[in-house]
Structure 1
Amino acid sequence: MDPAIKPATRAFEDATPLLSRPEELRRVAAEKGYLFFKHFFARDEIMAMRCLLLGVLQEEGLLDPGKPLLDGIGNQPAIDGLQPEEINWNGIGTTQQVYRKVQKLEAFHAFAHHPKMLAMFGGLFGERAFPHPRNIARIMLPSEALKVTPPHQDFLHIQGSADTWTCWAPVGDVPRSLGGLSILEGSNNAGLLGVTAAEGAGGLETILCNLGYEWAEGDYEAGDMVVFHSLTVHKALPNRHPGRVRLSLDLRYQPASQPIENASLMPHGPFEWDELYEGWTREDLMYYWKREAFDFVPFDESIRWQKDKIC
């Protein structure tokens, strides 16, 4: 760990032993608002995904050609030549051209259907888990133009069922000094909090004051993941490793019986499913949500600006 990084107020506790005790798993999840799993995925699975994502950056000339691919070292002159609006596009840390290629990767979307993941969320929900197709990759290039993601609650952006959970999985080793995810433990029990405008992904920062909660965090290894409730406040830590790309996945799940907001079934970005599906071989991954009987709830823009909920 970088000696300049102070230890977290709370360290992540591995929830793996709770997988065989679903009632205890649900109790801890409701109390803390998150669950951390050590080595949940096989390291080889994560490194294969890392190779795919970094391969796209390599094709675009955004990696240092003199360094090993898996090291993820950016081609700094090429990155510094990007305009701020190019690299800050849609909060994913890279250009739209790169992201279109990533969103077209069948293996990227297939990862959200990992049997172990569906089984874990099924145990957490006490019913069948539905994986949202709106999968997100964070491909954070090393650039001073990028802003750190501020504290926020996902529900403001997702809506639909409040029981939606996000899986944040690092694609490679992500110590705190590389910019891992920090969780405000128990903040899911505070309800929907007020926000203010902010730089960084999402454009909104949750107003935090006198809540009495503590941040929890840790050093992630490839294969680790953290899952959290849509009302749990979380934030990214700054990348203190010059030149290093940080890769992670945001995958979302909800109980299949719960309502959903229509945008959760659309691609992440200005893309169309027909375009992204070109060349895919697994029909079970395409338009699978059309086999569901969802109740749809409209997106409520007004709840994103509850400025009366301030200190």
Structure 2
Amino acid sequence: MDPATKPATRPFEDATPLLTQPEELRKVAAEKGYLFFKHFFAREEIMEMRSLLLGILQEEGLLDPGRPLLDGIGNQPVIDALSQEEVNWNGIGTTRQVYHKVQKLQQFHAFAHHPKLLAMFGALFGERVFPHPRNIARIMLPSEELKVTPPHQDFLHIQGSADTWTCWAPMGDVPRSLGGLSILEGSNKAGLLGVTAAEGAGGLETILCNLGYEWAEGDYEAGDMIIFHSLTVHKALPNREPGRVRLSLDLRYQPVSQPIEHASLMPHGPFEWEELYEGWTREDLMYYWQREEFQFLPFDESIRWQKDKIC
């Protein structure tokens, strides 16, 4: 793309000072549709999770055996032998076999219950937080067959409460060149936008009709995270670092008083909780939503296409 025609972007602003100012935190979140936090997690705990995830890739022969594990360098001949269907399965950037092992990790699901996350979302919502158990890992292999996630709004896919927020946390350093997350600042105020079919995770792309918003993006370090509203448009940047795997977690939260769609209580992927829980030691992480009294809203397939339109 000609630099002269490249869309304008703005850098992320660190919202950490707002953690002690709940009213201002809520005000800025409502205005921007997202909040970025620098060094929210300890680097050591992120690198521990990174090691667990990369260890699974190593078991499957998908990492270069001659490089340090934490470098996350792919075994390119093995990756290149994977089909387009394999690397684009379920929008998570890796194979079903790898993802099944990830979903069985108690430590992966425990991360969504991090005390700092629950405290921060409690301040944002002004009430008790409910972490969705449908946790997602993005394990994006360096494959030319992998499709980049297009601009989209999460609400079309999760439904339930529009006040659901996603935490996107990179598991390692993710500069823009590795394909971090970009946010269309303020787009949460535009409501539910039109979509068209697209390749990449989710299979839908938001139609951006000269809304006047700017993209916000930046380089992430291990420990940084970003949270965004379910109507905030966001997208992945392309991975321009040959051979490097990109790891991140998508964790979702909502006020416990708000309605929910039943699929948000199911595992991400065609798996069953009973099987995933084998070997777990923390009963507090298992079926914890059964202690709540939710209002369930049915999934409305029609809203995914009723706004299909061209600008």
TM-score (norm 1): 0.97
**In structure 1, what is the Cα distance between the partners aligned to 2:309 and 2:252?**
27
> What's the Cα RMSD here?
1.2
Partner of 2:111: 111
SS at match of 1:107: helix
Structure 1 distance, partners of 2:199, 2:273, is: 29
CA distance in 2, matches of 1:117, 1:181: 19
Q: In structure 1, what residue type is equivalent to 2:266?
A: M
Paired residues of 1:193 and 1:309 also in contact (CA < 8 A): no
Per the alignment, residue 281 of structure 1 pairs with 281
- The unaligned stretches of length 5 or more in structure 1 are 1-5
Question: In the aligned structure 2, how far is the partner of 1:271 from the partner of 1:150?
Answer: 26
Give unpaired runs (5+ residues) of structure 2: 1-5
Q: Deviations over 1:80-132 (max 9, x none)?
A: 11111111100000000000000000000000000000000000000011000
How big is each residue's C-alpha offset from its partner over 1:23-59, in whole Å with a ceiling of 9 and x where there is no partner?
Answer: 0000000000000000000000000000000000000
CA distance 1:129–1:66, change in 2 (3 Å)? same
Q: CA deviation at 1:308?
A: 4.8
Is 76-85 or 104-113 further displaced after alignment? Answer: 76-85
| Structure 1 residue 7 displacement after superposition | 10
Q: Distance in 1 between matches of 2:211 and 2:8?
A: 17
Task: Indicate how the Cα distance of structure 1 residues 211 and 135 shifts in structure 2: closer, same or farther if over 3 A, else same.
Answer: same
Q: Give the secondary-structure state (helix, strand or coil) at the position aligned to 2:124.
A: helix
> Which AA in structure 2 matches 1:146?
L
Q: What are the Cα deviations for residues 154-210 of structure 1, in whole angstroms up to 9, with x where unaligned? A: 000000000000000000000000000000000000000000000000000000021
Please list, as runs of the form range in 1=range in 2, the aligned pairs for 1:81-96 lying within 5 A after superposition: 81-96=81-96
Query: Shift of the alpha carbon at 1:309?
Result: 4.4
Q: Which amino acid in 1 is paired with 2:60? A: E
Contact kept, 8 Å, 2:196 with 2:308, in 1: the verdict is no
Percent of counterpart pairs with the same letter?
Answer: 89
Provide the residue aligned with 1:3 in structure 2: none
Amino acid across the alignment from 1:291: R
Return the alpha-carbon distance in structure 1 between the equivalents of residues 146 and 83 of structure 2: 11
Partner of 2:267: 267
Structure 2 CA distance for aligned equivalents of residues 187 and 143 of structure 1? 31
Structure 1 position 307, deviation (Å)? 3.9
SS at match of 1:177: helix
Report the Cα offset of residue 310 of structure 1: 3.4
Summarize the Cα distance change of 1:184–1:172 in structure 2 as closer, same or farther, 3 Å threshold.
Answer: same
Distance in 2 between residues matched to 1:267 and 1:255, nearest whole Å: 20
Confirm or deny: 8 A CA contact 2:259 2:297 kept in the other structure.
Answer: yes
Give the AA of the match of 2:143: S
Q: Check the 8 A contact 1:8/1:217 in 2, yes or no.
A: no
**How many residue pairs get matched?**
307
Superposition TM-score, scaled by structure 2 size = 0.97
Q: Does 1:161 align with 2:161?
A: yes
Counterpart in the other structure of 1:210: 210
